[in-house]
Structure 1
Amino acid sequence: MDFVITWVDDSDPEWKAQFNNYRKQTINDNRDVRFRSWDNFHFWFRGVEKFAPWVDKVHFVTWGHIPQWLNINHPKLNIVKHTDFIPKEYLPTFNTRTIELNLHRIEGLCDEYVLFNDDVFLIDKVDESTFFVKGKPCDMPILKPFDISVYSKTILNDLIVINKHFDKRMAFKKQPCNWINLSYGKFIISNLFFNFFFRSHHLSFKNFHLALPSKKETLMILWELEFEVMHNSSKKKFRDYDTVNNYVQRYWDLASNNFHPTNITKIGSHFDLDDDNVKDVAKFIKSQKKPIVCVNDGDNLEKFEVTKNEIINAFGKLFSEKSNFEL
């Protein structure tokens, strides 16, 4: 099993010049907040070494820049530049969707891999069964109504693909314990309701912004069966909501019953950082309440430097020593 981590250095002058040049040509989602550095990336590697030493490879996906502190000779580290695996017609890209929809092209990537964004950290022990059981991603298909948000169009596009190929009734019928599972706790009620009243179509799934166990095979199937959708989504230089994202890969596995039932809420928590919750998030990290945490850069965060230092100090309590991934 491999880990895949995507990263960007917004201070790289060459990257910044290219970014600004293409930004002038688009009105898509290219906010600077999506790229600003929290200076905490080294803690991600310390978490992997300390809490997941069993991982086979760490594929570090980058535009081309590499942190000065990174030990590029670490035997488990595979540095992957965008030009190494993303088709030339999609480059350069500043779009995480383009990157994630093409990860199956990374040479040597295991069929079973866990995708991390650079704001998702391991803060306690995990093992292989946290992410995969008998070759299936650990997940839970919590059905929910389709809600209106900034991501609505993207999620709708994902669901259009899924409902084109799968019937929810058949998914329930084939493996009911995947959908009505005691480990899901209160979420069982939601699945019972939406299965009874909305039988044919998957309206929407609850998403968890955490480490995402993924199958390379699933991406290959999507490119084979939905080439135009995947191709058109990958062409976008910046995140565009009128595309699919990597949730289409997750939804495909859920709708096809290619997953192992697991209560994801017990594995990790996601936080959108703002000026009011930073102390609670820091406390969560230091207490190691759950093994995985996402500390997402919030749009309403004004005191960036203060919040950044608070989070760095919290991680520093857990990871006071360098890992072998660092020089």
Structure 2
Amino acid sequence: MDNNIDFIVTWVNGGDPDWLKKKNKYLPVNESNENMNSESRYRDFDIFKFWFRAVEKFAPWVHKIYLITDNQVPDWLDTRNSKLTVIDHRDIMDADWLPTFNSNAIELNAYKIKNLSEKFVLFNDDTILNSYVDKVDFFDENYPKDIYVESPIMATKGSVDHIMVNNVEIINEFFEKKNFYKKNLTKVFNPKIGIKLLRTLALLPSSKFAGFWNSHLPISYNKTTFETVWSNCEGKLVATSKNKFRTAYDVSHWLMRYWQLASGNYHLQNNIGKVYDLSSQNIDEVVTQLQRSHSKIICLNDNDELDDYEGVKGKLVTTLNEKFSEKSKFEL
């Protein structure tokens, strides 16, 4: 069995004048999905080089890293590194769908990367390795590591909740919850899941999947999962791929994760990460987390409520410079 595991990471320099000009050219005049396409979706904290330093330090076993960008390459990145391949949107998406500013569309097509391993982990550029990770943190043989927690979707205006509803609708079309429970009892009702297990228990009477708990952490995927979902749901995936900006009618790569869960194609994952919605109130806790490496992976999630972008950014850059003081082999 091929033991290679690749990392895919998506990145955009939201401050690039050429990119902004292109984005504004295609941005609808009356943006009905404004909150889903706000500045925080594209804002750059200038910490991406630390993502590579962390991978080199804490996951030296990674086979290949694929960086997906829109004709952008950080000026510090050494693209000659044999472990790195820069993927432009046109390498994985039809020309008719481009340009795109829709992360859902990009991530749905990520599996089309040439020579991508069967096992890969999908990162956003705001998720960073915080201490050493092993292959078994992401995969057990060929099975992606994950946890199943059923959780209701609480839709709010401008959120991605409508997209999650679209994902779950497809899952209920192809999978029977009762059969899933019969085949996966020990993985579903496992004490390792902790307090979140109460969510699943509360929704046990429902005959349909009500929704899935999501964490903004890297997700382990089999490439064949993407191929299977595309073969069964091509029309809906193409429709999302054509949307240049996020819409409430999209589906997302979480559909692939839900598919792996509902099919039982996963092994139980330990809690390896922590997610922070960055704010001036929690930045000191984030700094402590980075300094003490309590969690193996952390997400530094930008958001519209961040009230002191420059202050938070400054503390992040200073702390990461201290934690990862040496250049990686991915830097010029």
- TMscore range, shorter length: over 0.9
140, 163, 187: which one aligns with 1:178: 187
Counterpart pick for 2:219 among 212, 217, 221: 212
Aligned equivalent of 1:156: 165
1:58 paired residue number: 65
Retained in 2: the 8 A contact 1:123–1:318? no
- Give the equivalent residue in structure 1 for 2:245: 238
Whole-angstrom CA distance in 1 between matches of 2:160 and 2:84: 33
- The code of the aligned residue for 1:220 comes to E
The whole-number CA distance in structure 1 between the counterparts of 2:72 and 2:66 is: 14
How far is the alpha carbon of 1:26 from its aligned partner? Answer: 5.7
SS of the aligned residue for 2:221 comes to strand
Q: Is the partner of 1:185 in helix, strand or coil?
A: helix
**Partner Cα distance (2:256, 2:143) in 1:** 13
Q: Which amino acid aligns with 1:293?
A: I
Aligned to 1:168: 177
1:290 to 287, 292, 295: 295
Q: What is aligned with 1:312?
A: 317
- Give the superposition deviation at 1:11: 2.7
Q: State the Cα deviation string for residues 113-141 of structure 1 (Å, max 9, x = none).
A: 00110000001000111101121111011
Distance 2:139 2:263 in 1: 16
Count residues with an aligned counterpart: 323
Structure-to-structure mapping, 1:103-118, within 5 angstroms: 103-118=110-125
Pairing 1:46–2:53 present: yes
2: CA distance, partners of 1:115 / 1:26? 32
2:13 alignment partner AA? D
Deviations 1:29-58 (A, max 9, x none): 332221121010000000000000000000
4+ runs deviating over 4 angstroms: none
Deviates more, 1:33-42 or 1:18-27: 18-27
* Residue 5 of structure 2 is aligned to residue 5 of structure 1: no
Partner of 2:198: 189
Counterpart pick for 1:325 among 319, 325, 330: 330
Asked whether 1:262 is paired with 2:269, we answer: yes
Deviation readout 1:74-118 (Å, 9 max, x if unpaired): 010011111111111211100100100001111011111001100
Q: Distance in 1 between matches of 2:73 and 2:316?
A: 22
Give the distance between the partners of 1:182 and 1:22, measured in 2 at CA: 49
8 Å contact from structure 2 (residues 38, 304) kept in 1? no
Deviation at 1:176, TM superposition (A): 1.1
**Alignment partner for residue 23 of structure 1, among 14, 22, 27?**
27
Which one is further off, 186-195 or 217-226?
A: 186-195
**Equivalent residue for 2:136, pick from 129, 132, 152:** 129
TM-score scaled to structure 2, two decimals? 0.94
Shift in Å at residue 175 of structure 1?
Answer: 2.2
Between the aligned residues of both structures, percent identity stands at 36
Counterpart among 109, 134, 147 of residue 102 in structure 1: 109
Kept in 1, the 8 Å contact 2:92–2:109? The answer is: yes
Unmatched tracts of structure 1, length 5 or more: none
TM-aligned CA deviation for residue 143 of structure 1: 1.0
Equivalent position amino acid for 1:5 in 2: V
Alpha-carbon contact 1:230-1:244 (below 8 Å) kept: yes
**Normalized against structure 1, the TM-score is what?**
0.96
